[in-house]
Amino acid sequence: MRTQLLVWTILVAAVASPAQAKTTADEIREATTAFLETFATAQASRGYNVTFETGNIDSRLALAPCSADLAIEFTGDPWKSEHPSVQIACAGERPWRMFVTTTVSINGPALVAARPFGRGERVTANMLETRSVVVNASRRGIITDSQMVEGMIVRRPVNAGSVLTPDLLDAPNAVSRGDHVIITARRGAFSVRSRGKALANASVGEQVLIENLGSSRTVKANVTAPGHVEVPM
């Protein structure tokens, strides 16, 4: 799943008066909570349930009053950590910034192993289940679409109930060492085909050495589909 840092601006309802001498711990806590609530609401619209806690803030905190709106953002990716920090910054006449620790739990659907997987197995639909998990408990990411993993090869043993992550699976070989393949030499719209033999294993998108059976030359080609490779002309 591709994740971008979420940046939110929390508007402070009360404008600092001339008599106000500081930004208090309570104000920082309220702003952080409002930021996390906004994040949770946004993820709920996508089918995720977010719970959170704000870390301790020293009650003796006394920052300069802020003449601008407080800007708040995660300093790390909350989708890959259960303890992302939040930065709160003031860009007013007396600028400052501080960090607040948080605990964020994002619960949502993910694919898990319905039974133990053995190394080298090819994944099929009946090997998969969808369960609600803590999505951001894994720094390696999760997989939600079964079509993305069906046909993939298990890289190492997986226990039943384990959350599937991209590093557990490999794309199957589109060509294997010794396979006869079709070589397409292409320049723009013009192309020429010939036959070759793969000298190594490779998946779609990878490069592989191919022996051209007509010329006996060895070329480096890109695998475009099972049994098909392409070289620039």
First to last CA, the chain: 36
| Domains, the chain | 7-106 (3.10.129), 107-170 (3.90.1210.10), 180-232 (2.30.30.760)
Residue 74 CB-half CA count within 13 A:
20
Min mean pLDDT across 4-18, 73-87, 106-120, 206-220 is at: 4-18
Kindly report, residue by residue over 163-221, the tens digit of the pLDDT. 999 999 988 888 999 999 999 998 888 889 999 999 999 988 889 999 999 999 999 99
Q: Half-sphere exposure of residue 200, counting CA atoms within 13 Å on the CB side?
A: 12
DSSP characters over 55-84: PP--TT-EEPPPSSPPEEEESS-TTS-SS-
Contact between 199 and 218 under an 8 Å Cβ cutoff? The reply is: yes
pTM over the 0.75 mark:
no
